[in-house]
Structure 1
């Protein structure tokens, strides 16, 4: 029962964030949308800021499910990376008007909505796990030292694409779509070049900067 009530509140908040935007969405509106009292809503969530974290988790879950269905075993890393990045943009599209507010909520290191926070560990592991599946599914040879870090690097790349999308004022964010189409082959080429002896020192430096991939949860 408690789980159902919590899920109703999350669903109501996400719908209102999409339709009315963050500023116009109040806890009372969320409670009304969910068919609950305001006091009941506050019993489960301290405020709408806490629900922003739930949005982050839900977006990561939907992104993973959509992308996994479209990945092609044996395709190039560029093609599969393009699929995953576009899938993320598809999932986020309804929330573009809310994007700036989400970033403001997620930027502080102490924020639960931060992709790097302890509370976001499951969502982060899910996202890194998706990138690990991209590498495992694709036809690509990755240097051994880089293999464990590459999924995390690709996830960080995705965060950068997300920031570009947030500030992209072009119709339907076509500039971000074009960036993805240009970026995926560049990343694939960089991974291929990392196998060359001349790049060994650079690869070692990158590996030292990035923690190992977290095990998927």
Structure 2
């Protein structure tokens, strides 16, 4: 039986005032990103705009990437809620993949301008242990466990991971898609679902199942390299930001 993880709760400040301050910083940052652009909106500018000290802002968010992570966590929780009940109705795997992709678009589309920033945050987090990754993975676990007929037993355990890694690649295409209304990446999402559905059925054959394992290994390798590069860059930037805040 598949074990389905419920989405983890977002960490909140201990006091009501702290929650209000954190929420205000998040709203202010999103407004600054929208008006000034992500690159131009510094932590100092966000703090000034929110009417708090820079050190106070860093208490809640160590960097702009942490602000984006908070937004991503909130959006993923919203996506999880949208999918609730839709992935347990005995739909085909293809239909469940469509459901996850469509719900992703529904919650993310108004933040497309932040796509590259989202992608940077995704690549900077530990793909195995981050709260965000676990929340995303739980959606794909439900998509696989709720599919009927069930995917072949030989790939059922690793299929959610395959879909999660694949969805990260599709998300990358969406993040940098400059076509009107992101038509190219939307078409990619529509076309991926039936291909994966057919591929999963063919994995009943040992030779195709072996190919699935090889592709998954390649995707894992690529993901590990991206995460290592992103984590190093983000860690250096975060330490520099904290040092600046203390100096001010």
TM range (shorter): 0.7 to 0.9
Q: 2:112 matched to which residue of 1?
A: 96
1:90-139: CA deviation from partner (whole Å, max 9, x where unpaired): 222122222224434554xxx3xx36275xx1111110011011112221
* Gap change, CA 1:208 and 1:167, over 3 Å in 2: closer
Q: 2:82 matched to which residue of 1?
A: 66
* Conservation of the 8 A alpha-carbon contact between 1:17 and 1:95: no
Q: 2:164 matched to which residue of 1?
A: 155
- Segments of 5+ residues of structure 2 without an aligned counterpart are 1-14, 221-248
Structure 2 distance, partners of 1:171, 1:29, is 31
Q: Does 1:187 align with 2:188?
A: no
Of 151, 171, 174 in structure 2, the residue corresponding to residue 142 of structure 1 is 151
Most deviating of 53-62 and 157-166: 53-62
TM, length-normalised to structure 2: 0.70
* Gap change, CA 1:208 and 1:161, over 3 Å in 2: closer
Structure 2 distance, partners of 1:179, 1:210, is 18
* Conservation of the 8 A alpha-carbon contact between 1:81 and 1:134: yes
* Gap change, CA 1:200 and 1:77, over 3 Å in 2: closer
TM, length-normalised to structure 1: 0.79
Relative contact order higher in (CA < 8 Å, ≥ 6 apart): 2
Q: 1:116 matched to which residue of 2?
A: 127
Q: 1:166 matched to which residue of 2?
A: 175
Most deviating of 60-69 and 168-177: 60-69
1:45-74: CA deviation from partner (whole Å, max 9, x where unpaired): 233233232233223222222233544611
What is the aligned length? 204
* Gap change, CA 1:91 and 1:69, over 3 Å in 2: farther
* Gap change, CA 1:117 and 1:9, over 3 Å in 2: farther
Q: Secondary structure at the match of 1:172?
A: helix
* Gap change, CA 1:63 and 1:15, over 3 Å in 2: farther
Match runs of 1:31-46 below 5 Å: 31=47, 34-46=50-62
* Conservation of the 8 A alpha-carbon contact between 1:8 and 1:34: yes
Most deviating of 166-175 and 196-205: 196-205
* Gap change, CA 1:16 and 1:138, over 3 Å in 2: farther
